[in-house]
Amino acid sequence: MESFSKIKQINIFLGDTAIFYLSLLLTLWLRYGSEFYGQFTDSHVGPFTIVLAVWILIFYIAGLYDFKSLKSDLDFDKKFWYSMLFNATSATIFFYLSLNINVAPKTNLFIFLIIFSGIGYFYRQAVNIILGKSNPANKILLIGDNKIIQKITSYLKNNNQLGYEIKSWIKDGLKDKELEDLYQIISENKINTIVIPSYIKKDVKSSSLIYKMLLEGIGVIDLANFYELVFKKVPLTELEEVWFLENITKKHKIYEILITPLEYILALLMLITLSPFLLLITLVVRLSSKGSAIFKQKRVGKNGKEFTIYKFRTMKIDAEKNGPQWANYFNDNRATKIGKFLRTSHIDELPQLINILKGELSFIGPRPERPEFVAELKKEIPYYELRHLTKPGITGWAQINFRYGATVEEAYEKTQFDIYYIKNNSPFLDLSILLKTIKFLFTNN
């Protein structure tokens, strides 16, 4: 399933690339007539290829290769045109600041931006329409009925571009007489994938019947894993201890060992480079309100060990005179004026580079919570303590996929993303989080 989606993503990327070079050729033809190809090969293809690499990166950060975003709606239009604004800015800066590039950027770049924006936008709209109306490759048979399954069916019904179609739904599960007609249901609906809840596997008769489907070339996937494919998080209510034994392993131990010294070096370099700026912020915070510039607070880290986290102070010194409270990150009346700016810009997080040097934090991982809240959340959220299997991070999968958690319900949602990250942790996922954090810094969503 996922490999087929990757192929479609690659095809969209190849289409963007082809339109980029086509737009460049059209620009040069309009400017130089019959000499356009010589201009392309001699002076334009090199620098514009650098521009292309940056543009593709901006498209990726904006989510223009995520299938959940590939719908012809206002949200897609905003992402595309905001991305083009950043693209135009980056290209202008590149050409005007680069030396020894024999290109006339003022006119050529202006014409190129108009051509690419027009063709690129209509290409992407065509892709969205095709994905939305095309016949999905994955024909799904769902067995069982619960809130998780209902959420999946509702979401897939409105997101045809993901490539999944629910062709049949045996709601009563084991009690349904339709199980006896499983062969006919699969044949009539051209089903190629069966999604089953975990309890089905415990029934000898049903599991034996589904096993025979597997031998017929029909894919069989656990409901929890299918939910993970669709939403990029794990369904806590559908999991059992055995799932964690099968999926939460030490397979990325080598990666963790390699990344730790690299993080240390990067954090040290950032602290040295940013030291004048950090001193300035320290002075501003200290002079703008009473209290220390650096805020210290106990958090729970890897293996449940407590540590002291460092941040620039953003709240008044009596902010918790009535005891610990959830922080409303973007609308907290306890925050100082400068504190609100530091929060929305995430500058208040910079002192946490010290925590990375001390080995208490990573750049990427689950967000560390306060001990008072952890004690409460462990009672309310199943498997919550598994977040502490890995080192917490300044940014993470939950942070870029869900707003700041200020309630138990929101913490529940973030935990589903956190456990997904722990299960799928890899260099590629970390790179993806790091890139998409850039978007989060600008938009906070």
pLDDT of amino acid 230: 93
Question: Checking DSSP bridges between strand 193-196 and strand 138-143, what pairing results, if any?
Answer: parallel
pLDDT of amino acid 397: 95
| Positions in the chain short of pLDDT 50 | none
The overall pTM is greater than 0.85: yes
Give the tens place of pLDDT for each residue, 33-58: 888 888 888 888 888 999 999 999 99
Q: Where are the beta strands (DSSP E) in 369-445?
A: 393-395
pLDDT of amino acid 201: 76
Give the tens place of pLDDT for each residue, 392-432: 999 999 999 987 667 888 899 999 999 999 998 888 999 99
Beta bridge partners of 168: 141
Please name each of the domains of the chain with its CATH number: 2-133 (no CATH), 138-231 (3.40.50), 253-443 (no CATH)
Residue 411 near residue 377 (C-beta atoms within 8 A): yes
N- to C-terminal Cα separation, the chain: 28
pLDDT of amino acid 244: 82
Q: Where are the beta strands (DSSP E) in 253-360?
A: 294-300, 306-312
| Sequence-distant (≥ 6) Cβ neighbours of residue 418 within 8 angstroms | 366, 367, 387, 396, 397, 398
Residue type, 274: L
pLDDT of amino acid 37: 86
pLDDT of amino acid 251: 57
pLDDT of amino acid 320: 64
Residue owning tokens 């044949």: 187
